[in-house]
Structure 1
Amino acid sequence: MSKELGFNAIEMQYLRHSLALTTAQVAEIGKVSEADVIAWEAGEKPAHMPVQKKLIEIDEAIEMQVLNTCDGIEELFKSEPKRTLSFVVYPTQALYAQYNPEFLGTLPLAELYNTSAWRIKKECKLMLEVDVVLVPLDFESYKAYREKDGLKESRENRAKWAKAQL
């Protein structure tokens, strides 16, 4: 790709859709106005290269999560029979930020984490023949689950809670 030529209008729009982002969210990530994003997607002006690069970096981070997670699941099922897995997804940005501070740099919005979970679900079904169920985090239910068993907050305990929701 030359310095002059970036994504065309339709490519920008479909990249945004593939990440499940609104024009306002792309504007927030790229630190531009929503009007700029709308103009890019309408072909009225070229998209800023830094925004294109940031969206591609996010897409690549999601793909790495998908590959790494699917590799781990494949290893798990070499020794265990097929079963259903559950993944926690976050219905609000506040819950996502509270429970996933380690991802805020690479995946700054809950929607991006949830897009990653969606892609993992599809990859596991198609390639590994493993069923993955996406479970939205319900803070009150999760808190009650932890308190009942005296558990601390951890990724493993969120996974156990999600499994209990199936």
Structure 2
Amino acid sequence: MAKDIGLNAVEMQYLRLSLGLTQAQVADLTQTTEAEVQAWEAASADAPELAQKKLLDLDDVIEMQVLNTCDGIEALFKKEPKRRLAFVVYPTQALYQQYNPEFLGTLPLTELYNTAAWRIKKECKLVLEVDVTLVPLNVDSYKAFREAQGLGESRESRAKWAAAQL
């Protein structure tokens, strides 16, 4: 027997807002219309269970990224104590897709990735007492940095570039 999720209008709205999504983006992700999303949030219609599940699943993926990343940072700092980190965030969907094709299945929108980065920043500050700065990717600056350092394109190269921006 399926478990009824049963999110009400306020919960649907705040779930959307906590994910950093617009009503149009929710409509796209849930394969509905923006008018339907507005109706869910106005309590004039119930959100389909599949739509609720999709949004809750995205929230769970973000929370798992937060936990895994914070655990990794904590382990790293046991070996090499630091108190400042920089994370790259992506100002456009095109840049996010170009540099993160591996995340598109789980976090299909840059807003979701950036929400995860924001939550990691908060968790690191509260739990690990580490300051995290979110650095928007500047492609020209990043390419110049890679050339100057003799680095190839990788997540590690982006992390080194972000750290150099502090």
- Normalised by the length of structure 1, the TM-score is 0.96
Amino acid at match of 2:77: F
- Alignment-derived partner of residue 72 in structure 2: 72
- Alignment-derived partner of residue 87 in structure 2: 87
Q: Deviations over 1:51-72 (max 9, x none)?
A: 1101011000000000000001
Within 1, Cα distance between the matches of 2:148 and 2:129? Answer: 34
**Correspondence 1:34-53 to 2 at 5 A:** 34-53=34-53
- Alignment-derived partner of residue 118 in structure 2: 118
Deviates more, 1:140-149 or 1:23-32: 140-149
Q: Deviations over 1:96-122 (max 9, x none)?
A: 001111110110100000000000000
Deviates more, 1:81-90 or 1:127-136: 81-90
Within 1, Cα distance between the matches of 2:164 and 2:104? Answer: 27
Deviates more, 1:34-43 or 1:149-158: 149-158
Within 2, Cα distance between the matches of 1:153 and 1:78? Answer: 28
Within 2, Cα distance between the matches of 1:66 and 1:93? Answer: 21
- Assess if the C-alpha contact under 8 Å between 2:23 and 2:34 holds in 1: yes
- Alignment-derived partner of residue 108 in structure 1: 108
Deviates more, 1:143-152 or 1:48-57: 143-152
Q: Deviations over 1:7-48 (max 9, x none)?
A: 110000000011010001100101110000000000000001
Identity within the alignment, %: 71
Within 2, Cα distance between the matches of 1:141 and 1:55? Answer: 35
- Assess if the C-alpha contact under 8 Å between 2:83 and 2:129 holds in 1: no
- Which segments of 5 or more consecutive residues in structure 2 lack a partner in the other structure? none
Within 1, Cα distance between the matches of 2:50 and 2:81? Answer: 45
- Alignment-derived partner of residue 23 in structure 1: 23
Within 2, Cα distance between the matches of 1:56 and 1:23? Answer: 15
Amino acid at match of 1:144: A
Amino acid at match of 1:87: F
Amino acid at match of 2:53: K
Aligned residue pairs, count: 165
Within 1, Cα distance between the matches of 2:156 and 2:85? Answer: 13
- Normalised by the length of structure 2, the TM-score is 0.96
Amino acid at match of 1:41: E
Within 2, Cα distance between the matches of 1:147 and 1:116? Answer: 29
Q: What displacement does 1:83 show?
A: 2.1
